[in-house]
Structure 1
């Protein structure tokens, strides 16, 4: 019984710490996190575009539209070899 209670208390404190850490992030960090998530979504959409059989040019244009204002460069902050 004591072990179960201790486990519940530890889980509660970890959950509280996790919530506190999230709220302690400054606005700039939160905005940076949001940009990274948006870029990741845009890249996932580009991968799905390519999987659907569309050309690289079409998918790159879609990526550029989705990433406008998010990252530096026309490849949404990421470029790789083909």
Structure 2
């Protein structure tokens, strides 16, 4: 049987509310779509990871959950000689 390539992952605030939700590889690397939440449940930030790095558009939300800003992540340059 093939091992799953990603596993759902949820991290919680001390009060038990969801702090972050997304997927990790079996090695623990963040991948795919992720969301972070304030303790009151409003979304704080969301975006995608590829091989543990933020990629594409990331959205930051205000305290009411409305879009505050959108940031486009630039790919990291490979190390010299790679």
TM-score greater than 0.5 by the shorter chain: no
More strand by share: 2
Q: TM-score, normalised by structure 2?
A: 0.20
More helix by share: 1
Q: TM-score, normalised by structure 1?
A: 0.20
Q: Which has the higher contact order (CA 8 A, sep 6+)?
A: 1
